[in-house]
Amino acid sequence: MKAKPRLLTALDILSFLMVLTAAGLVFYYAPVEKLMGAVQKVFYFHVATAWVGMLGFLVAAAAGIFYLRRGEEQWDIVGVSAVEISLVFFLIAIIMGSIWARPIWNTWWTWDPRLTTASIVELIYAAYMLLRSGVDDPERRARFSAIYALFGFISVPLTFISIRLLRTIHPIVIGSAEAAGQGGFNMDAPMKMAFFFSLAAFSVFFADLLWHRIRLGELKAAVESLRVKSFQEEK
């Protein structure tokens, strides 16, 4: 049994400090937005969590390709770890977006492309977990979920384009002039600083969680093989 790597402990501490600093920057360093007021603060973590959600999807699809090509169990563990973490982060992003949307758009929810795509992604993750729980044979489960992660990853951009063509009110915050009327805004330097730091903090946090979860998966596999071994010895 491997002990917890030192680097992982360091990463724990780093991600804790970074998220804490990001929160500090958001609340005390970045100025309050003129039109929207304090509720705009949700934006920093909203985008950061959504980013982590998409990142996990990318990692899962890449792990799926590696699994199909190489057939090594560890890629399956990477895939499921990424999806599990991103499932939670994406849900947080959706809820935060909803909290932001209520005062600004005067509604909790609209069928805008990004909101709809986000909910579809969340459903694909959920379907992925259901697929895993429905297949008992580990090797087969790994193959199927790799394929599903890949398919999901390919379909999401198409979904996004399709819904975008329907209609959009979600602001394109960075570098868009027409967004101002829909709750978009221009970021000044401290805002940008807080924003990019939040992105970095959550990316590090994601890497930390992913590592933990992969380790958990490996330990689980090790326990499983020990159990099989002792069972055979008894016989």
Partner 1 sequence: MKLYLRAVGAVIWKDFRAEWRNRENLSAMLVFSLLVILIFNFALELDLNARASLSAGVLWTTFIFAGTIGLNHSLAVEKDRGCLDGLLLAPVDRSVIYFGKAIGNLVFMLIVEAIVLPIFNFLYGFNVFQPGFLGVVILGSIGYAAVGTLLSTMVVQARTRDILLPILLFPLTLPVIIAAVRASQGFFQNLPLAEFSIWVNILVAYDLIFIAVAFMVFDYILED
CA distance 165 to 119: 17
The CA-based angle 137-138-141, given to 5 degrees, is 85
Asked whether position 150 contacts partner 1 by CB under 8 A, the answer is: yes
Q: Does 92 engage in binding with partner 1 (CB under 8 A)?
A: no
* 56 sits near partner 1 (criterion: CB under 8 A): no
Helices (H) and strands (E) in the chain, counts: 6, 0
Q: Which residues contact 45 (CB under 8 A, 6 or more apart)?
A: 22, 26, 96, 198, 202
Instruction: Take residue 170 and report the two structure tokens written for it.
Output: 């979600």
Least distance to partner 1, CB of residue 110, Å: 16
- Of 77-85, 150-158, 191-199, 222-230, the window that binds partner 1 (rule: CB under 8 A) is 150-158
Among 161, 172, 180, 222, binds partner 1 (CB under 8 A): 161
Q: Which is nearer to partner 1, 156 or 191 (CB)?
A: 156
> Should residue 148 be labelled a site residue for partner 1 when binding is judged by CB under 8 A?
yes
Report the nearest approach of partner 1 to the CB of residue 70 (Å).
Answer: 12
Cα end-to-end span (Å), the chain: 25
What are φ and ψ of residue 36, in 5° steps?
A: -90, -25
Euclidean distance between CA atoms 194 and 183, whole angstroms:
19
Residues 21-40 contacting partner 1, CB under 8 A: none
110 sits near partner 1 (criterion: CB under 8 A): no
Using the rule CB under 8 A, give the single segment among 40-48, 91-99, 117-125, 213-221 that binds partner 1.
117-125
Angle at 205 between CA 54 and CA 143, to 5 degrees: 50
In the complex, the residues that contact partner 1 under the rule CB under 8 A are: 68, 120, 123-124, 127, 130-131, 133-136, 139-140, 143-144, 146-148, 150-152, 154-155, 158-159, 161-163, 165-166
